[in-house]
A and B are shown apart, each in its own frame.
Chain A
């Protein structure tokens, strides 16, 4: 066990899985960097340096810099997964999924079912999501609800370095296509992470705080926001539980219902756009299966229904905030 950043924990997970299984390969734009140049042959390791050090250890045959060609990256990875490799495809910003959706949702996501159970597609797609970096409308979206919508895909969204490693190893070993969401503002977050390999099963949400008054349901970066709020409002004698969903597909319905039953009040904090997102999905689940446990309406905290604005002044207003969560909590308590 030692302190590692989110970046380091994913890097370690990939390295250790590549050492363990020679079928694991990495491909994407500048996953090494420097291809064909006279300079550093491990120049980038991806735009956030998550895959740095892989090319020197495993060589360019297993750490493949691709042209800018998302359809072919994901399609190559899907085809390779179908035929015996265990690829990790790096798609950088989730916004770029727009270029290659077909290969994900009509191809990779459907093989298993459509081929009558004969196919396995052990594909992991890494991607960055979320606001805060002033990266504007085409580099800041969340988009995980779209993938959650597609049967056949698994959707993973870790909130801390420990979970990131365990969930990532599970993703690589999983025989279905997994889209692994990394919040771009979390790479320097630190936490205790075991040096050895371990897995965290999909479909098991995690209570990061226990509480009796209100349940805060969250995913990825909003877990940290909810933890912060839960800690801060203890002084006002309000006790909040925080549920970290960890995977959106499969979804741990039991833990969600448990959170509702224990508190009777729910605030769901989701950084994605407000219509047809994870918050609305969970809210529907609760009204269907736990209606009688509710003491107050289910509240959803999301950004407004706009593209992500560039200006720091607007982006700060756009993103879910601790203040907003606190106000909502006090409204449903009164």
Chain B
């Protein structure tokens, strides 16, 4: 563990912020306050934070339908995000995008994505910009085990490989795509697929922030040293259903229990840093308290905030019919 105190605190804050955000969305959705489709990232926090703490605002990420965690980890404003989910005018995309389309280009966040497999080609594009302009930045793509089966993913990995793009493909394998197990849907295995196209590819324990952080650090170095793209197969679990409203009948209760008890990256992180004396319990509790307050405010401010109005319907277009 080569992280300093400040970095560890940042990691914990980020993971807690994601968890609080998702738990709050879970509750608000159940109460009927939130419209639309939401897919929660709870349980996968170590991946987003482990990767994004190696990036700066000029590096980019492309995200997925399960994008809240990636957005927060890349520095998007949690209040602006919450307002977006509520469809409010002050939301991070003016209420036009919603949960599946949160984006903040100033933070290098190229967008959550409603299309499974939409992100990998865009990532090649961002990486090509960095390579062409010699900026020394990297482009990261988060995608799921389900998305790993899309043609666009295979095409992009090959493209990144032959052009030696500074790209990192992070396959977050939570075991399921909707109600389908990745054991069933993935032929062969994800690491071998990366290797077959000539990428550096490895499997990473996604419940362990430190493992993800280290693998990402090396991948970023490889990209910056012009050694080509990396594929990380990050094994983790989602706490909630595929989307809010999913009855999760394809998963046994004992599996959900095991996920909550034994695969929670935040609990695992907390245990590691306190047992090794890197951070004190009281310090972590202070963080938890502050984040809780921040998210509670995000929810109450979002509820108060104003909806967009008729004149907002026809902004951000180049022609009006």
Contacts and interface: CB of A to CB of B under 8 A. Distances in A.
A34 B180 contact: yes
Contacts of A135: 36-37
A37 B251 contact: yes
Contacts of A34: 179-180, 249-250
Interface string B244-286: 0001111110010000000000000000000000000000000
Contacts of B100: 136, 138-139
Nearest to A275: B321
Contacts of A313: 87, 95, 307-309
A44 B249 CA distance: 8
A137 interface: yes
A101 interface: no
Interface stretch (A12-20, A76-84, A301-309): A301-309
Interface in B89-134: 89, 91, 93, 95-101, 113-117
Given A29-B180, A36-B181, A65-B180, A310 B313 contact: no
B310 interface: yes
Contacts of B310: 317
B13 interface: no
B320 A305 contact: yes
A314 B312 CA distance: 8
Main secondary structure of the interface of B (DSSP, over half): loop
B179 A312 contact: no
Interface string B47-58: 000000000000
B185 A35 contact: yes
Interface string A26-43: 000110011111111001
Query: Interface residues of B toward A: which range?
Result: 35 or more
Nearest to B177: A68
22 contacts: A34-B180, A35-B179, A37-B251, A38-B251, A40-B249, A65-B180, A68-B177, A96-B115, A99-B117, A99-B152, A135-B37, A136-B97, A137-B96, A305-B320, A306-B317, A309-B308, A310-B84, A310-B87, A311-B88, A311-B89, A311-B98, A313-B95
A150 interface: no
Given A306-B316, A311-B98, 12 more contacts: A36-B183, A36-B185, A38-B252, A47-B178, A67-B180, A69-B150, A99-B117, A133-B36, A138-B100, A305-B319, A309-B96, A311-B87
A98 B149 contact: no
Contact of A37 (B250, B308, B319, B320): B250
A120 interface: no
B232 interface: no
Interface of A: 29-30, 33-40, 43-44, 47, 65-72, 95-96, 98-99, 133-139, 274-275, 304-307, 309-314, 317-318
A162 B97 CA distance: 36
A310 B321 contact: no
Main secondary structure of the interface of A (DSSP, over half): loop
B146 interface: yes
Contacts of A306: 313-314, 316-317
Interface in B156-192: 176-186
B147 interface: yes
Nearest to A45: B179
Given A44-B179, A136-B114, A312-B35, A68 B319 contact: no
B151 interface: yes
A67 B148 CA distance: 9
Given A310-B96, A310-B101, A36 B184 contact: yes
B96 A33 contact: no
Interface string B284-321: 00000000000000000000000111101110110111
Given A71-B151, A314-B308, A30 B313 contact: no
A68 B320 CA distance: 36
B266 to A, nearest CB: 26
Contact of B321 (A65, A66, A305, A317): A305
By CB atoms of chain A within 10 A, which of B179, B249, B307 has the most?
A: B179
Given A98-B115, A139-B114, A274 B321 contact: yes
A139 B250 contact: no
A169 to B, nearest CB: 28
B237 to A, nearest CB: 13
A172 B280 CA distance: 66
By CB atoms of chain B within 10 A, which of A33, A69, A312, A317 has the most?
A: A69
Contacts of B97: 136-137, 310
By CB atoms of chain B within 10 A, which of A68, A69, A310, A318 has the most?
A: A310
